[in-house]
Amino acid sequence: MTVRKDKQTGLWLIDISGGVNPVTGKRRRHIKRGIKTRREAITLEPQLRIQKFGDSSKIKGITIDLLYTLTQEEDKNNHRRDTYLHTQEVYYRKHFMGYFENAKIDKLTPKDMEIFRQTLIKKNLEASTINRLMAQLSKLFNTAVKQGFRPDNPCLALRKLPESPQPIHYWTLDEFNTFMSLFEVEEYPYQLFFKVAFSTGMRKGELLALTWEDVDFSRQTINVNKTLVRLPDGQMSFHPPKTKSGYRSITIHKSLTQELQAWRDKQRELLTPYCEDPNTLQLFQFIPEPLNEFRVKRAFDKVMARTTKLRKIRIHDFRHSHVALLIENEESPYVIKERLGHKSIKTTYNTYGHLYPNRQKSLSDKLDGLF
């Protein structure tokens, strides 16, 4: 019997056979234990047959939940990031699960996909968001095609919605200096965080992942090789960059290099008693607990509440502000691409092209003395 009680634990188990392995000639068998209820085991059995042996003969009705489960399993086997899997789960539960709960997956048509997309449009979602959601839905139907549940993907007949370019918000150098003047003395680590953000164009997660091992004071560079991400369980974890271009070395100006050296010495006075190796401390850490995005956001909001003179921007917009500063100082878009870690110069132009006056000079040491 494929579904039965485990005599050792009192829970349920699934014991399935996949016939003979055509390569090794050995019998294929898979046992899954620790299932709480018989109903859960019966539901899970046909999914396991597909995942382990590619056997869909026991499937009585194809559901959207089955497609999602199989797609997630494939993504895990392909070593997709935890953050990616979490995002896919959020999209699925929020937009797909309820809508397609009772759908006959093998009967859905391109017209049905268009009707679903209209429901997303009525929610006033951005076109870019709707396109991402439809891409994920298309991925689920690709799984259906791979497993032989239907002959085609009904999403492929739909063209992407046209996306309007999003306005870029940024601060000028004067606005940034005004922001810097609002910090209290005890808030210096956060002030330094935003100064490095404005000076390098690094992403928030990249900044939070920096340790002193990533700073080369002799060459005046910061090496970007990881990012701090929040996992679905709320834990923070260091992850490598998503692409090869994400690994990069960013030159910093002399005055910032000196300021970082001074802060490193001060930080060691504060935190060396609490750590084994001060080189592994986060650059902007000032208490024994790690610095996270929530602390930075609270500090940013607190400082912004002290003025009504500055335009409202997000922390991510310090990245845009850095680019605006480089363009103002006639930097080459190729250099900007390298500093930002873009995959291509086309990405840089698509994002910031309207700001470029076709300048090609080198920035060199122009940042020194500006702030």
pLDDT at residue 28, rounded to an integer: 82
Token pair, residue 181, equals 């003047």
Report, as an integer, the average pLDDT of 290-299: 95
Output 207 or 59, whichever has higher pLDDT.
207
Whether 302 is a known active-site residue: answer no
- Across 179-183, 226-230, 325-329, the highest mean pLDDT is recorded for 179-183
- For residues 190 and 334, state if they share a domain: yes
**Are 159 and 217 in the same domain?**
no
Query: Which is catalytic among the residues 226, 295, 337, 342?
Result: 342
The answer on 342 and 200 residing in a single domain is yes
Concerning whether 352 is annotated as a catalytic residue, the answer is yes
Q: Give the span between the Cα atoms of 68 and 302, in whole angstroms.
A: 42
Question: Is 252 part of any domain?
Answer: yes
Evaluate if residue 295 carries a pLDDT over 90. Answer: yes
Residues 158 and 234 occupy one common structural domain: no
Q: Give the mean pLDDT of 54-68.
A: 76
Residue of 316, 343, 346, 359 marked active site? 316
Active-site residue identified among 91, 92, 170, 352: 352
Contact call for residues 49 and 26 (beta carbons, < 8 A)? no
pLDDT for 183 = 98
Question: Does the structure show a pLDDT above 70 at 107?
Answer: yes
What integer pLDDT is reported at residue 232 of this predicted model? 66
Give the pLDDT confidence of 164-189 residue by residue, as tens digits. Answer: 877 889 999 999 999 999 999 999 99
316 is catalytic: yes
- Which residue from 142, 167, 170 is spatially nearest to 75, judged by alpha carbons? 142
pLDDT, mean of residues 340-364 = 72
- pLDDT over 70 (residue 367): no
Indicate if the pLDDT at residue 46 is higher than 50: yes
Structure tokens given for 277: 């190796």
User: Both 224 and 311 in a single domain?
Assistant: yes
Cβ(200)–Cβ(335) below 8 Å: no
Answer yes or no: do 240 and 308 share one domain: yes
CA–CA distance, 55 with 286 (Å, rounded to integer): 56
Token pair for 58: 């026991």
Last residue of a domain, one of 164, 190, 209: 164
**Quick one: tokens of 274?**
């609490």
- Secondary structure of residue 256 in the 3-state scheme: helix
pLDDT at 361 > cutoff 50: no
Q: Among 49, 95, 195, 203, which one carries the catalytic annotation?
A: 203
Same domain for 149 and 5?
no
User: Does 55 score more than 70 pLDDT?
Assistant: no
Query: How much is the mean pLDDT over the chain?
Result: 88
Q: Is residue 370 part of a domain?
A: no
Taken in order 28, 70, 88, 145, is the CA torsion positive or negative?
Answer: positive
Kindly report the CATH number assigned to the domain that includes residue 345: 1.10.443.10
Q: Is 81 a catalytic residue?
A: no
In the sheet that holds 221-224, the strands lie side by side as 215-216, 221-224, 248-251
Range of the domain at 3: 1-60
Please give the pLDDT value at position 364: 39
Q: Which of 17-21, 158-162, 329-333 has the highest mean pLDDT?
A: 158-162
Is 365 a member of any domain?
no
Taking residues 26-51, report their average pLDDT.
Answer: 80
Mean pLDDT of 15-27: 80
Is the predicted pLDDT of residue 63 greater than 60, yes or no? Answer: yes
Provide mean pLDDT across the span 274-295.
92
Task: Indicate the pLDDT class of residue 54, thresholds 50, 70 and 90.
Answer: low
Domains: count for the chain: 3
Between 35 and 54, where is the model more confident?
A: 35
Q: What is the mean pLDDT of residues 94-120?
A: 95
Pick from 33-42, 190-199, 268-277, 357-366 the range whose average pLDDT is largest. 190-199
Residue 51 identity: Q
Query: In the annotation, is 319 catalytic?
Result: yes
Answer yes or no: do 277 and 219 share one domain.
yes
pLDDT-based confidence at 357, cuts 50/70/90?
Answer: low
Residues 266 and 328 in one domain: yes
Inter-residue contact 50 to 59 (CB < 8 Å): yes
368 band by pLDDT with thresholds 50, 70 and 90: low
Catalytic residue among 95, 253, 319, 337: 319
**What is the pLDDT at residue 242?**
84
- Check if 320 is active-site: no
Q: Say if 367 falls within a structural domain.
A: no
Instruction: Give me the mean pLDDT over the 126-144 stretch.
Output: 95
pLDDT above 70: residue 252: yes
Identify the CATH number of the domain in which residue 115 sits: 1.10.150.130
* Annotated catalytic residue, options 33, 39, 160, 242: 242
- Report if residue 181 sits inside a domain: yes
Interval 260-284 mean pLDDT: 93
Based on the fold, state whether residues 76 and 218 are members of the same structural domain.
no
Residues 277 and 348 in one domain: yes
Taking CB atoms within 8 Å and a gap of at least 24, the contacts of 71-80 are 71/139, 71/140, 71/143, 74/143
Q: What is the mean pLDDT of residues 284-307?
A: 95
Q: How confident is the model at residue 365 (pLDDT cuts 50, 70, 90)?
A: very low
Residue 275 in any domain: the answer is: yes
Which of 60, 76, 109 terminates a domain? The answer is 60
Answer whether 147's CB lies under 8 Å from 46's CB.
Answer: no
> Is 78 among the domain residues?
yes
Same domain (yes/no): 254, 109: no
The answer to whether residue 368 sits within a structural domain is: no
Mean pLDDT across 51-60: 66
Angle at alpha carbon of residue 234, lines to 232 and 239, rounded to 5°: 70
**Residue 57 confidence (pLDDT):** 62
